Amino acid sequence: MTVITNIEDLRVLAQRRVPRMFYDYADSGSWTEGTYRANSEDFQRIKLRQRVAVNMEGRSTATTMVGVPVAMPVALAPVGSTGMQHADGEILAARAAEKFGVPFTLSTMSICSIEDVAANTTKPFWFQLYVMRDRAFSQRLIERAKAAKCGALVLTLDLQILGQRHKDLKNGLSVPPKPTLGSLANLATKPRWILGMAGTKRRQFGNIVGHVQGVSDMSSLSQWTADQFDPTLNWGDVEWIKKHWGGKLILKGIQDVEDAKLAVASGADALIVSNHGGRQLDGAQSSIGALPAIVDAVGSQIEVHMDGGIRSGQDVLKARALGARGCYIGRAFIYGLGAMGEAGVTTALQVIHKELDLTMAFCGRTRIEQVGKDILLPGTFPTA
């Protein structure tokens, strides 16, 4: 049996077990993938200050994100088609997150529906909203999230139009996979995945199929989704969404200080510094690179979170040191899910927590609330 010691081990295992089009969907960026790579590489340039002869007993990584107690400053990010990485993937990931004590965020473009996840968990999860041209559908999504008692609405602002993702185009990405010669040949090498999918009825976008008139099969679903992302989304829409939602609102996709100020003015509870995992604007700044200026500008007025490039607990600690109240992991948990299902997501969380806890101790801190820029080596981290 493979001994898992880090997120890379889970990635390698997921690559072997998940069909190529879905593995590539998760493990790729847009265009040249420069921003996708920078998200991780820029973390590696930040160096830590080791401290010694410090009492390291009684450590705690517990904190809060938008007032919600969390075992560590980490949430599972919304990832589309999670249920194609592993059968019933969203349900399994939500269960693992609930047991570990961190939030799970369900994507609008999930395979398991809002109701599926609500029926299989006991604590509130978060729901991520894409605004569609069909505003009545978007409003119904909000009402469904309220009915499921979701704890926060995460509104994604950086996918009004879709970035060009070369691997998805070359693989002919579709949900479920189209039965082409290439896809069938690849599926034949993934018996675990096939067996899992044979045992579930959840193989399409559960939040859409059955909830939109005229969308009942793969062909009609593909056409509807291709037409629906709304390029006219603006800050007035954010106000409309906040009014209809009425609960905690988190704005995802902020990379610029001016947009961060607008996020504050909108009355949102938190913003996420994010470039969509390098899957939208290639050539954009890394999330960790953009974080300090945004924290400096608005960190006293709104809770600042971040995502992009986090592959270890050390990355979480560095982001926290630079002012992020919380971090979101996407690929890290997706690798775990594809590798080993719910147990793999749990393993990913355990790995990140252990790395976070030990690194915090080596830096001379026993509580996550004590972590600041002084744990970082001057000159190695981005500044405002």
Give the 3-state secondary structure of the chain. Answer: CCCCCCHHHHHHHHHHHCCHHHHHHHCCCCCCCHHHHHHHHHHHCCCECCCCCCCCCCCECCEEECCEEECCCEEECCCCCHHHCCCCHHHHHHHHHHHHCCCEEECCCCCCCHHHHHHCCCCCCEEEECCECCHHHHHHHHHHHHHCCCCEEEEECCCCCCCCCHHHHHHCCCCCCCCCHHHHHHHCCCHHHHHHHHCCCCCCCCCCCCCCCCCCCHHHHHHHHHHHECCCCCHHHHHHHHHHHCCCEEEEEECCHHHHHHHHHCCCCEEEECCHHHCCCCCCCCHHHHHHHHHHHHCCCCEEEEECCCCCHHHHHHHHHCCCCEEEECHHHHHHHHHHHHHHHHHHHHHHHHHHHHHHHHCCCCEHHHCCHHHECCCCCCCC
Half-sphere exposure of 54 (CA within 13 A, CB side): 14
| Distance from chain centroid for Cα 4 | 22
Indicate which residue of 166, 211, 244, 276 is catalytic. Answer: 276
What sign does the CA torsion over 157, 106, 97, 163 have? negative
Give catalytic status of residue 276 as yes or no: yes
**Cis previous bond, 176, omega within 30:** yes
> What are the residue numbers of the active site?
276
